[in-house]
Homo-oligomer: A and B are copies of this chain.
Amino acid sequence: MLTYSFADIGSDSLYHHLYQCVKNDILSGELAVGTKLPSKRSFAKNLGVSNITVENAYAQLQAEGYIYSIPKKGFYVREISGLTFPVEETSSESSGRNSLPQQYVADFVSNRINPGQFPFSVWSKLLRETLLNRHEELLETPPWGGILELRRAISGHLKEFRNMEVSPEQIIIGAGTEYLYGLLIQLLGRDKIYAVENPGYHKIAKIYEGNGVGVRFIPVDKTGMDIVQLEMSAAHVAHISPSHHFPTGIVTPIGKRYELLGWATREKGRYIIEDDYDSEFRLAGKPIPTLQGIDRSERVIYINTFTKSLASTIRISYMVLPKHLLEEFERRLSFYSCTVSNFEQYTLARFIEEGYFEKHINRMRTHYRRIRDELMCAIRKSPLAACCEITEEDAGLHFLLHIDTKLSDHDLLQKAKQASIRLSSLSEYYCDGTPDVPAHTFPINYSGLSSEEIPYVVKLMTKCVFKA
């Protein structure tokens, strides 16, 4: 029977260690496809661990697709279809799964940060010191807007990097922008109509629809949301991303920004939600002032997140409310508790305050620029060069790849999926019924790619495009 040692497991849990051992043997081929694994009971007895340990290990292996079970027979090793470096499916759009991950060689859809890039040692040090030195504060209910220290640090950061004059009190911390959108609907009103960008990030419209408010899809022209259409739509609130529109990559120029502010001030009760989700990663060009920064009439709500700039799995985002909305929030919604753990709020506050965040952003910007350049270079040196064009590559973490091909978008996406590449087409980000949707254009989010993977991934992409 299979035997593993539990001697050097360190701080790992028993079941996780067992899971790792079996997984490694499956990946190395030691355990061949179709091999029947020992029964839970006999395996547990043999290893000298509890049944529950084996059960948990098997459950994890099954959930991750390494093994499968046949009722009343047992557990068997599943075929893992020729993956060289498995990447778990992750998605900023939707994880689309509750327990069973799908595996990809490359994922051009999600934002992700590779483990080598995350500042684990600094984060761990700050967290440890916070836990050691701040017992009282860690257990004190924070103000509804979040820990004051963090809001002060963010206020300083916004001043320095976005030239925004924002008082810490105006900042409200929340567990992800999705949660903050929900609060904003409660603040601005369910009777309001919300305008979203078309094409745009699906999830925003889904959240408005899920909350039962009216949504209008407004076309995006070459400079951002179309003002004439916006005016005609009867919308009260425009949710836009002027710093870097997703998926087109458009950056709204300053003139258009003033026009948008003009729209907002033209009628009472109009607001702009300025979603600045990846402005930290502008890779070239001059920064353009935020709408919040040039707004003199309290019409702009600024939203940003650390899920893009730090890690999507640390759920910390924030919004900046104009003063009159802040008062209204306090009056009507301050009964909500802050949704982010004090432990992480204090840690992030020090991370920003002591300059680590700035260093991290600079390092990531350099890293992303390199990955982008290497990927573009590899594409240009590949057979793809003959039929591809790259645009909108300077802002944020994705560019657009235009492919001159006879394949339909659907067919190309299918082929990519078969090659274990997670790809989306620009057309997917338009709402149903939009006329003249551009074909053969693919947003390429390269944040999860590593240098080593690029040659192989470009080879796979070439195959998808050229092989029948």
Residues of A whose CB lies within 8 Å of any CB of B are: 10-13, 16, 52, 56, 59-60, 63, 88, 90-99, 101, 110, 112-115, 118, 120, 123-124, 127-129, 131-133, 135-136, 138-145, 148-149, 152, 156, 168-169, 175-176, 178-179, 182, 186, 190, 202-203, 206-207, 210-212, 311-316, 326, 330, 332-344, 350, 353-354
- A99 with B168: in contact, given A152-B56, A186-B211, A335-B94 (CB under 8 Å)? yes
Q: Is the CB of A139 within 8 A of B124?
A: no
Q: How many copies does the complex hold?
A: 2
Asked whether, in the complex, the Cβ of B353 is within 8 Å of the Cβ of A13, the reply is yes
CA gap between A202 and B91 in the complex, in Å:
37
- Kindly list 8 other residue pairs between chains A and B, CB separation below 8 angstroms, not including A127-B131, A314-B342, A341-B344: A59-B152, A98-B144, A98-B334, A99-B169, A113-B139, A175-B179, A315-B337, A315-B339
Taking CB atoms, residues of chain B closer than 8 Å to A56 are 152
A91 (CB) vs chain B CBs: closest residue: B141
Do B176 and A339 have beta carbons less than 8 Å apart? yes
Cα distance A343–B344 in the bound complex, in angstroms: 9
Residues of B within 8 A of A178 (CB): 336-337, 339
B contact residues around A353 at 8 Å (CB):
13
Cross-chain contact B128 with A124 (CB below 8 angstroms): yes
Report B-chain residues with C-beta under 8 Å of the C-beta of A179. Answer: 175, 179, 339
How far, in whole Å, are A372 and B413 apart by their CA atoms in the complex? 64
Alpha-carbon separation in the docked complex, A123 to B130 (Å): 12
The residue that A350 contacts in the complex, of B13, B88, B326, with Cβ under 8 A, is B13
B93 touches A118 (CB 8 A): no
Given contacts A90-B141, A98-B169, contact A314 B341 (CB under 8 A): yes
Point out the residue from B135, B138, B210, B337 that lies within 8 Å of A186, measured CB to CB: B210
Chain B residues near A332: list those with CB within 8 A.
Answer: 210
A333–B209 alpha-carbon span in the complex (Å): 11
User: Are the CB atoms of A95 and B337 closer together than 8 Å?
Assistant: yes
Distance in angstroms between the alpha carbons of A429 and B223 in the assembled complex:
53
**Would A334 and B95 count as touching, CB distance under 8 A?**
yes
CA distance A187 to B113 in the complex (A): 32
A339 to B133, CA, bound (A): 26
28 contacts between A and B (CB under 8 A): A13-B354, A56-B152, A59-B168, A63-B148, A92-B337, A93-B335, A96-B334, A97-B143, A98-B145, A99-B168, A99-B169, A110-B141, A118-B135, A120-B132, A127-B131, A176-B337, A178-B336, A178-B339, A182-B182, A210-B333, A212-B212, A314-B341, A314-B342, A315-B337, A315-B340, A340-B341, A343-B344, A344-B344
A132 and B124 in contact, given A206-B335, A343-B344 (Cβ under 8 angstroms): yes
Contact yes or no, A313 B139, CB < 8 A: yes
Q: Decide if A139 touches B152 in the complex (CB within 8 Å).
A: no
Taking a contact as CB atoms closer than 8 A, the residue among B131, B340, B342 that contacts A124 in the complex is B131
Which among A12, A140, A212 has the highest number of chain B CB atoms within 10 Å? A140
